[in-house]
């Protein structure tokens, strides 16, 4: 039996086995099935890819939910083919790719690119990937493209001719350098050496650095404060910090890739650029669930020999799960728009917190996390809240914990005087100190998450808490991790009835 790694952030140990089904049968029948590892942070997409690859005669020997797990799985299984998502929390595919190439230099690596991110794909090709496909492409075209890269040719199950697979350079009409030049945020590539010489700086970065950012220039000549902070965080896997550049407060995110460092410079005062990035990242986030649902619709047309009743049932569950993801994103966008327009309203009434929290966990997250989310209730009082808004708040904090934290996960309902508090606890890396001051701001993302998330989840939680005469806060966990707390007014208990009046 083959086991699979859990949800992203749910476990630091990846599960791998050698699959026995399809290990001797190939599409050509001439050789053993190529061994495959799939690295992607979306469980449902991994299942779809596993189904189509197994159907096509490949042997999927392992899965992982983020880059670090992917490196471990690849080292253990030594696959012939790796499907690697580029945009993942924790460690993304771009960072994991050099280690994967070193572990399996003869393997074929195909990266999975989100819609509208050609520069990331081109960068992956430059550091060792063999090709890339965009999420949302049909399953058969992905299979045919993989066959082409692995020199297997189309197999007998390709009953209809899929579109011709794109060549690695044909997926975009612009080069990687052109895409970086057009990026709304500053991007600087630095040589990983003591002087941090500038390898490349796009126009946005050149403006922020004052025009002294020519190739080969030591970073200290362009910005001594930035060079000092890069040196301080040089050994970190990723880091996010604030720096003053050209009179503006800039959020810098540093990522390591191969022998260089990538520094993303995001001006907090550039509202137009912030809006453009929010639109781009939201569109990218929407694309993921849409790609899964389209893939399931395609797989639903397969014969019963390829997709039995049990598999069809799992796929329908995946459709419901991804639809909820889309619904959550839509709700956050609508709420953010209502905040900006001054039309946000909350209909307050007594709400049983224990029942609501249990419902949210059961409905959204218990089946996705391994181990599951624990619910602990120490205070059973009702609160004055809007039940639909409170569900949205708890759901956003749970999504945040499962995406960026690590197990064990806990939702703790407790009393604090005349307030009822809902703590959402994880044991991940916590929130970087440089981010905490604006953690609940609009379009803020977790440290190191360059492209993951819309940046609206925590902002929406704060706005909804304030609309319900409540608050939300963050504290680092006592033993590591994060504790996000919603505080709402408890409904006063009714006064005891007078026994004399009861006798009448």
pLDDT of residue 156: 39
pLDDT of residue 71: 93
pLDDT of residue 184: 61
Q: What are phi and psi of 480, to 5 degrees?
A: 100, 170
* Interior angle at CA 218, CA 213 and CA 223, nearest 5: 60
Query: What does the DSSP assignment read for 332-348?
Result: HHHHHHHHHHT------
The secondary structure of residue 152, as a DSSP letter, is -
pLDDT of residue 158: 35
% the chain with pLDDT above 70: 73
- Alpha-carbon distance 466 to 440, whole Å? 12
Domain topology for 343-489: Heat Shock Protein 90 (3.30.565)
Contact between 59 and 14 under an 8 Å Cβ cutoff? The reply is no
pLDDT of residue 162: 37
**pTM (2 d.p.):** 0.48
pLDDT of residue 19: 39
β pairing state of 248-257 and 260-267: antiparallel
Beginning with the edge strand found earlier in the chain, give each strand of the sheet holding 374-377 in spatial order.
Answer: 374-377, 410-416, 419-426, 482-489, 471-476
CA distances, 107 to each of 37, 78, 82 (Å): 11, 8, 7
Helices 271-299 and 309-341, axial angle in degrees (round to 10): 160
Residue 37 has pLDDT above 80, yes or no: yes
Q: pLDDT grade, residue 36 (50/70/90)? A: very high
Residue 60 has pLDDT above 90, yes or no: yes
Q: pLDDT grade, residue 417 (50/70/90)? A: very high
CA distances, 233 to each of 194, 229, 239, 405 (Å): 13, 6, 6, 21
Per-residue pLDDT tens digits for 127-172: 888 888 877 677 888 888 898 888 765 443 333 333 344 444 333 3
Average pLDDT over residues 214-219: 86
Q: Please name the CATH architecture into which domain 183-269 falls.
A: 2-Layer Sandwich (3.30)
Query: What is the residue extent of each domain of the chain?
Result: 1-172, 183-269, 343-489
- Alpha-carbon distance 74 to 65, whole Å? 13
Domain topology for 1-172: Rossmann fold (3.40.50)
Pick from 39, 45, 80, 91: which is nearest to 62 by CA?
39
* Interior angle at CA 83, CA 80 and CA 89, nearest 5: 135
pLDDT of residue 328: 75
Same fold, 1-172 and 343-489: no
- Alpha-carbon distance 92 to 123, whole Å? 13
For residues 308 and 447, the model is more confident at: 308
Residue 27 has pLDDT above 70, yes or no: no
Name the average pLDDT for the chain. Answer: 77
Helix (H) or strand (E) holding 228: helix 224-232
Per-residue pLDDT tens digits for 4-21: 333 333 333 344 443 333
Per-residue pLDDT tens digits for 235-269: 887 788 988 886 667 888 888 876 788 898 876 54
- Alpha-carbon distance 366 to 360, whole Å? 9
Assigned token pair, 376: 């602990």
Per-residue pLDDT tens digits for 433-492: 877 877 887 666 554 444 455 567 888 899 899 889 999 999 999 888 999 999 999 998
- Alpha-carbon distance 243 to 504, whole Å? 73
Contact between 260 and 187 under an 8 Å Cβ cutoff? The reply is no
- Alpha-carbon distance 66 to 85, whole Å? 8
CA distances, 273 to each of 119, 141, 186, 269 (Å): 18, 35, 11, 9
């Amino acid at each position: 039996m083959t086991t699979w790694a859990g949800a992203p952030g749910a476990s630091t140990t990846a599960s791998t086995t050698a699959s026995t089904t399809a290990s001797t049968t190939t599409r050509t029948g001439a050789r053993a099935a190529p061994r495959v590892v799939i690295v992607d942070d979306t469980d449902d997409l991994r299942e779809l890819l596993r189904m189509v690859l197994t159907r096509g005669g490949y042997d999927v020997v392992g899965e992982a939910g983020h880059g670090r797990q992917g490196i471990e799985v690849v080292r253990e299984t030594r696959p012939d083919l790796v499907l690697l998502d580029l945009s993942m929390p924790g460690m993304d595919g771009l960072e994991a790719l050099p280690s994967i190439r070193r572990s399996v230099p003869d393997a074929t690596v195909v990266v999975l690119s989100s819609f509208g991110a050609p520069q990331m794909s081109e960068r992956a090709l430059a550091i060792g990937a063999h090709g890339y496909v965009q999420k949302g492409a049909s399953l058969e075209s992905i299979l045919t493209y993989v066959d082409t890269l692995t020199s297997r040719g189309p197999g007998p199950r390709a009953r209809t001719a899929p579109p011709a697979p794109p060549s690695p350079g044909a997926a975009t009409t612009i080069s990687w350098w052109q895409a970086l030049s057009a990026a709304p945020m500053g991007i600087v590539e630095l040589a990983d050496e003591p002087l941090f010489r500038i390898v490349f700086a796009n126009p946005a970065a050149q403006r922020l650095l004052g025009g002294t950012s020519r190739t080969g220039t030591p970073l200290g000549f362009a910005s001594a404060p930035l060079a000092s902070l890069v040196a301080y965080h040089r050994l970190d896997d990723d880091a996010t910090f604030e720096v003053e550049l050209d009179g503006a407060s800039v959020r810098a995110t540093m990522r390591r890739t191969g022998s260089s460092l990538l520094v993303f410079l995001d001006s907090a005062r550039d509202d137009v650029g912030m809006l453009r990035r929010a639109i781009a990242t939201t569109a990218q986030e929407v694309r993921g669930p849409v790609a899964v649902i389209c893939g399931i619709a395609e797989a639903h047309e397969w014969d019963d020999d390829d997709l039995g009743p049990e598999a069809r049932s799992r796929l329908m569950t995946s459709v419901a799960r991804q639809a909820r993801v889309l619904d959550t994103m839509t709700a956050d966008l609508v709420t953010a728009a209502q905040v900006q327009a001054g039309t946000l309203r909350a209909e307050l009434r007594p709400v049983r917190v224990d029942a609501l929290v249990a419902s949210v966990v059961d409905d959204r997250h218990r089946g996705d996390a391994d181990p599951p989310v624990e619910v602990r209730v120490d205070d059973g009082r009702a609160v004055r809240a809007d039940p639909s808004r409170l569900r949205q708040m708890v759901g956003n904090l749970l999504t945040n914990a499962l995406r960026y934290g690590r197990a064990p996960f806990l939702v703790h309902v407790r009393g604090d005087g005349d307030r009822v508090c809902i703590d959402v606890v994880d044991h991940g890396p916590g929130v970087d100190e440089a981010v905490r001051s604006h953690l609940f701001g609009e379009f803020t993302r977790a440290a190191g998450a360059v492209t993951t998330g819309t940046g609206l989840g925590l902002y929406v939680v704060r706005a909804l808490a304030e609309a319900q005469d409540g608050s939300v806060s963050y504290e680092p966990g006592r033993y590591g991790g994060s504790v996000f707390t919603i505080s709402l007014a408890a409904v006063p208990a009714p006064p005891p009835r007078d026994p004399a009046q009861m006798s009448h």
